Structure formats: C-alpha cells, structure tokens
Copies of this chain bind each other. A is one copy, B any other.
Amino acid sequence: MRWSTVVTAGLRALRIETPSWAYGNSGTRFKVFTRKGVPRDPYEKIADAAQVHRFTGAAPTVALHIPWDRVESYSDLAGHARANGVAIGAINSNVFQDDDYMLGSVTNPDPAVRRKALRHLLDCVDVMDATGSEVLKLWFSDGTNYPGQDDIRARQDRLAEALDAVYARLGDHQRLVLEYKLFEPAFYATDVPDWGTAYAHCLRLGPKARVVVDTGHHAPGTNIEFIVAFLLREGKLGGFDLNSRFYADDDLMAGAADPFQLFRIMYEVVRGGGLDGGVAFMLDQCHNIEPKIPGQIRSVMNVQEAAAKALLVDRDALARAQREGDVLGAHGVFMDAYGTDVRPLLAGFREEAGLAPDPMAAYAASGYAERIAADRIGGRQAGWEA
C-alpha cells in the first residue's frame, strides 16, 4: 500500500464542515421522527458538532442556518464554538419558511416581499461580521408550481437585483456561494435550477461569488464530477453540499448511495487543485432514521475514504495510458485506486494525529449519546422550523 506524503498532505488539507441543522430533527413531509438527546438550541447543536470534530479531527467548523440558529449574541455563540474546539463556518440564509414566501422570496412578484427577503440576506452578512464567518451560502427555494404561474424571465431579473445588492454588501474577506437545485419545493420551474444558471449569475457578480454544488440537486444521470471539473477550471467552484441519494434530494449520508461517484468527484477535486483552499466541503444531510452524531461521523469518514482513494490514483500511469488512448489501461489505473481498502491507511492517519483509529467506535464508547439523552429533558427539540 502506498502511503505517500501526497496522500497524507491531501487528507490533512481536507476539512469538512458539518451543518448545525444535521444535529436537529429532520424528516420528510410525511413525518419527522424524534429521538432522545436531540439539541434544543444552537449551543447544544454546536456541542454535538464538536463531538464530530473530536473523533474525526476533520470537521473543525459548523455551518449556521438563520433563523434556525438565531441567538441573542452571535459573538457569544462563536465563543461557545471556540470553547468547544470548533469555529463557525458558513452562514446559510433561509428565505423559505415565512408565510410571505409562498410565491417566492427575492423573485416574488410582490416587491414588498422581495424587500423583506433581501433584508434577511443582508442580516445574514451581519451575522457573518459578528461570527467571523467568511462564507454566505444562498439557496433559494424560489420557483413556480404551475406553467403560467409567474414570468420565468422576470423572476431572473428580480433574482439578479437581489444578488447584486447582497454582493455589494460583502466585506473584503467575505464571499457568497450560490446553490442550485433541480426541484423541490418548486415543482415546475425553479429559479436557480442548475449549475449553468448559478454560474451565469456568479460570473456577473464577480470574484467573490462562486457556485456551490449540492450533490443531491441534479437531474437523474447528471455527471456531477464533470461539473466539478468544469467549475474548477473556471475558478468558480465555491464548495460542496455533500450528501447522497438514490432518487431525488434524498439527503442521505455522503458516500452511502454511490461511493464510486463520491470517489470520482473527489478525484476531480484533487485533479483540479480543489484541496488547495478556496473550496468549502460542507455536509448537508438529513438523518431521518439514524442517530445524528454518528451519521455525521460516518459521513466525514466516507468523504475521507473517497479522498484517500482519489489521492492514491497513480496519476503518472493514468496520464500515460490516457495519452496512449489505452481505454482499459487508464480505466484500470483509476479503478485500482478505487478498489484499494483505505481503511487501514486512515486508521493510521488518525493515530498519527492522536485520534482513535475508529471514530464510530470511539464515539460509541464515549458515553456522549447516553449523556445527552439523559440531560436534554424538557424544552423543544430543534428542527427545521425551530
């Protein structure tokens, strides 16, 4: 087994952000199942996120979601994070849960609603200032359900106007990443449905705007690693919302549904210099039926394994076979890396860093799950509407 400095350096560079909302309840429109020990406020969410970092050593930041993570003092929350050994990551805006947003937020036909939505986006930049966050993640659920319902093109004009205003508000060390999604909750025309749309807007906005790729937000058959390679080539890949899916935006654990796809994506990241900074690796998942902290730990490990395999690709041999048009040879080199069992490598990597070799087992043995189940009695569990 090749244990090169390249692999180690790559793994060290890979930092995965976990989302505060993964620690709260989530579900489908049919049912949100609850579980003992679920956090009741942003402070408890951050405490849980800190456990993921404690056992993996690879998840040093936590993304916030406003207003789900609204607190009195964001600087206090940032201090709480630091005290727990983590930091605040991206600020995720939410302009989809107010009754006013039924027909859209920044693309709503009603200018008053648009103003309200924009105000929230600008407030999120205030939160960035207060927490030291450098990334504003924008996802718009905006769209229409029925043909004719609204003017597709006018909604782009409204979107552009809002984005311009947010962009103008960003500080020197701040940037925005724009997320796209094929559908849900809009069921006919989504206003930012694909990477092309997000890319075009980001291009107009300027260097502080980049595209974020949520791996669950594509049409069936979409080659996601192509998009990753393309955006990296254009200098416009802002980051990832990692998760996996068999069907639509299933939000399963990253690497669970198609580990080979995750490997291919991570290969293009490595190939395109995406580990060298500037690309944010964020998880965005729903642990509807599995315990949440272990769900995050497992996801972090899955991303690490995919990255390790990607780093193991013998790129010289690959380039040679590609150059010679040796289809099976090149494919073989690629698959050899994928076929490698990198779990021992990662166990060693962790031990060198003073961590337990098996984060899942170490977390289970820590008693943390039992402790929060016993302690967090009363109050209201956090969820997507909390």
Contact = CB atoms under 8 A, between A and B. Distances in A.
Contacts of A195: 194, 196
B31 A96 contact: yes
A30 B97 contact: yes
A184 B219 contact: no
A319 B151 contact: yes
User: Which residue, of A183, A268, A272, A384, has the highest number of chain B Cβ atoms within 10 A?
Assistant: A183
A331 B146 contact: yes
A271 interface: yes
A31 B186 CA distance: 11
A328 B294 contact: yes
A174 interface: no
Interface stretch (A11-19, A57-65, A119-127, A221-229): A221-229
A325 B182 contact: no
A23 interface: no
Q: How many copies does the complex hold?
A: 4
Given A183-B221, A188-B257, A99 B34 contact: yes
A331 to B, nearest CB: 4
Contacts of A31: 96-97, 101, 141, 185
A73 interface: no
Given A146-B327, A183-B247, A289-B102, A189 B34 contact: no
Contacts of A28: 29, 184-185
Given A152-B229, A195-B196, A230-B197, A185 B30 contact: yes
A2 interface: no
A328 B145 CA distance: 10
A246 B187 contact: yes
9 contacts: A28-B185, A31-B141, A102-B289, A148-B322, A148-B330, A189-B225, A196-B197, A219-B221, A339-B341
Report the 7 A-B pairs with minimum CB-CB distance, sorted nearest first: A196-B196, A148-B334, A219-B219, A220-B220, A341-B341, A187-B250, A28-B185
